[in-house]
């Protein structure tokens, strides 16, 4: 009799999410699934661990009920552990048609610009990224088709779409698990990858963060299919993990992998500084910095302090790299002192005729005036470029923004979505780790590039 009285209590305890699982209660009958209200109550515990556990227990609810709570409560939680638990719980329903429909409507509502405000809703940020990640992981044809159509339209209308896809890729790179890599590989077959440079680069950079042999194989498969800065990202990564220097030779890299894949181990210094990677002979470079970009802008300081041998040497280096640009490259030139001047208003194909004209523009440059660095960078970013190479010898002291930290913020923040590389060259920039060098170095590091010091 006592056992009969205790059994209903045990079942109630299970329904509220406490105590052992059903399998641990000998002879217990199948209890009812916990209802949404009880589950929601547990989601508001003061304990982060308890909330994360409650989110995982949502998998016991009917999929649509559990998904709603995972999005509305779990993904909105302030703690990363709870949000990750919600994301992983939603992944369990990635191929459920009802959940897929709910997630698509949620994503479209929260992410799409509104007529009254063209920007995505600020309070949607915690949910849109993981929801999109789950949708991208889905193998349901209907979900994939509807998501593809929405992304195509969204990316075409707003840079926010590229930023969102890039943010998802970044998060997947941090997760660095099997599902994350599988989703990134799926993205390489989407229009957002083939048509959008920022999305393409974000996906490749995320795959680089995943230290598995499967990721290396995926990058090797992509190498002959991509170009510009994206190809450069893969080449630098392969050189860093192999200590080999095959440049953009996809066949040589494939041969290396075939020989070493069986016993390959990632070195501890797998994320080597860009400057430590030797360039194969014959590859085009600017002061030793590789030039991979297919759409590139060179920005040269012609302020008064550059007068004489310093400017003459800079001109020789710049004309050399212009003459070495391969067919298929688009080129832009910006010169600055107190004011900014451009060679052309649009990027121009690096044909023999255009390269000769670009060299003439460089040779006509004369030094004088102050250093309006921000104005020059602002002008460079008007071009649809993959990389900007900035050469300067002094602190910013003219133009719209002079403070170095404000310049870095003003350039780096909008560049999060574009992912344009900024390579900086400091010509006799003053003291090592001085104010100007720190400015040039930080500007490059926060914008996917590298700083190079040249003393002369």
Residue 78 above 50 pLDDT?
yes
Cα–Cα dist 267/276, whole Å: 15
% of the chain with per-residue pLDDT over 70 = 84
The contacts of residue 1 (CB under 8 Å, 6+ apart) are none
Residue 180 above 60 pLDDT?
yes
The contacts of residue 212 (CB under 8 Å, 6+ apart) are 176, 181
State mean pLDDT over 96-116: 83
pLDDT at 73: 92
Q: Is the whole model's pTM more than 0.85, yes or no?
A: no
Choose the weakest-confidence range: 16-20, 115-119, 137-141. Answer: 16-20
φ, ψ of residue 36 to 5 degrees: the values are -65, -35
Judge whether 400 and 427 are in contact, CB under 8 Å: no
Cα–Cα dist 342/108, whole Å: 41
Residue 179 above 60 pLDDT?
yes
Over residues 20-70, the pLDDT tens digits come to 333 333 444 444 555 556 666 778 888 999 999 999 999 999 999 999 999
pLDDT at 428: 82
Neighbours of 364 (CB within 10 A): 9
Residue 308 above 90 pLDDT?
yes
% of the chain with per-residue pLDDT over 90 = 68
Comparing CA positions, the residue from 422, 442, 417 lying closest to residue 170 is: 417
pLDDT at 27: 43
- Among 119-123, 237-241, 371-375, top mean pLDDT goes to 371-375
Residue 116 above 80 pLDDT?
no
Task: For residue 415, name the pLDDT band (cuts at 50, 70, 90).
Answer: very high
Task: For residue 114, name the pLDDT band (cuts at 50, 70, 90).
Answer: low
State mean pLDDT over 99-103: 96
Residue 435 above 90 pLDDT?
no
Mean pLDDT of the chain: 86
Residue 13 above 90 pLDDT?
no
State mean pLDDT over 241-264: 93
Choose the weakest-confidence range: 76-90, 278-292, 331-345. Answer: 278-292
Both tokens of 356, joined, read 């000769």
State mean pLDDT over 267-288: 64
pLDDT at 429: 75
List of long-range contacts for 49-58, beta carbons under 8 Å, 24+ apart:
49/81, 51/77, 51/79, 51/82, 52/79, 52/81, 52/82, 52/84, 52/85, 53/17, 53/85, 54/17, 55/82, 55/85, 55/86, 55/89, 56/85, 56/88, 56/89, 57/17, 58/86, 58/89
Cα–Cα dist 333/318, whole Å: 10
Task: For residue 441, name the pLDDT band (cuts at 50, 70, 90).
Answer: very high
pLDDT at 271: 53
Residue 203 above 70 pLDDT?
yes
Cα–Cα dist 134/132, whole Å: 5
Task: For residue 113, name the pLDDT band (cuts at 50, 70, 90).
Answer: low
pLDDT at 115: 53
* 3-state SS track over 84-119: HHHHHHHHCCCCCHHHHHHHHHHHHHHHCCCCCCCC
pLDDT at 200: 95
pLDDT at 36: 59
pLDDT at 228: 95
Comparing 300 with 162, the larger pLDDT belongs to 300
Task: For residue 455, name the pLDDT band (cuts at 50, 70, 90).
Answer: confident
State mean pLDDT over 176-192: 92
């Amino acid at each position: 009799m006592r056992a009969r009285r205790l059994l209903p209590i045990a079942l109630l305890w299970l329904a509220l999410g406490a105590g052992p699982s059903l399998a641990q209660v000998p002879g217990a009958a199948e209890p009812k699934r916990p209802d949404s209200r009880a589950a929601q109550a547990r989601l508001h515990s003061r304990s982060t661990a308890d909330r994360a556990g409650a989110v995982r227990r949502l998998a016991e609810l009917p999929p649509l009920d559990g998904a709603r709570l995972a999005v509305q409560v779990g993904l909105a939680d302030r703690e990363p552990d709870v949000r990750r638990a919600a994301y992983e719980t939603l992944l369990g329903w990635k191929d459920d048609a009802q959940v897929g429909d709910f997630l698509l409507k949620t994503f479209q509502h929260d992410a799409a610009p509104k007529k009254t405000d063209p920007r995505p809703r600020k309070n949607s940020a915690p949910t849109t990224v993981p929801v999109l990640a789950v949708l991208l992981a889905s193998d349901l044809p209907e979900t994939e088709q509807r998501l593809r159509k929405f992304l195509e339209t969204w990316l075409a209308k707003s840079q926010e779409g590229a930023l969102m896809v890039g943010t998802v890729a970044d998060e997947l790179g941090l997760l660095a698990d099997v599902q994350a890599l599988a989703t990134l590989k799926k993205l390489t077959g989407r229009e957002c990858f083939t048509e959008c440079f920022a999305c393409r680069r974000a996906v490749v950079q995320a795959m680089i963060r995943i230290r598995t042999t499967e990721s290396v194989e995926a990058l090797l498969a992509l190498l002959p299919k991509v170009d510009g800065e994206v190809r450069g990202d893969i080449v630098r990564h392969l050189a860093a993990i192999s200590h080999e220097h095959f440049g953009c030779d996809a066949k040589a890299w494939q041969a290396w992998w075939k020989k070493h894949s069986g016993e390959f181990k990632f070195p501890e210094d797998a994320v080597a500084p860009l400057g430590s990677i030797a360039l194969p002979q014959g590859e085009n470079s600017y002061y030793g910095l590789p030039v991979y970009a297919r759409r590139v802008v060179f920005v040269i300081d012609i302020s008064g302090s550059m007068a004489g041998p310093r400017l003459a040497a800079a001109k020789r280096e710049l004309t050399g790299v212009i003459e070495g640009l391969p067919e298929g490259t688009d080129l832009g030139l910006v010169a600055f002192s107190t004011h900014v001047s451009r060679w052309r208003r649009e990027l121009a194909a690096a044909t023999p005729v255009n390269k000769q004209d670009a060299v003439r523009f460089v040779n006509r440059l004369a030094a004088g005036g102050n250093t309006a660095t921000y104005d020059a960078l602002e002008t460079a970013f008007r071009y649809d470029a993959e990389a900007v190479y900035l050469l300067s010898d002094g602190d910013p002291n003219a133009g719209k923004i002079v403070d170095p930290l404000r310049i870095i913020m003003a350039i780096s923040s909008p560049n999060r979505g574009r992912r344009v590389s900024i390579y900086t060259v400091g010509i006799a920039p003053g003291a090592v780790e001085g104010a100007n060098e720190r400015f040039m170095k930080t500007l490059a590091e926060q914008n996917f590039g590298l700083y190079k010091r040249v003393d002369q």
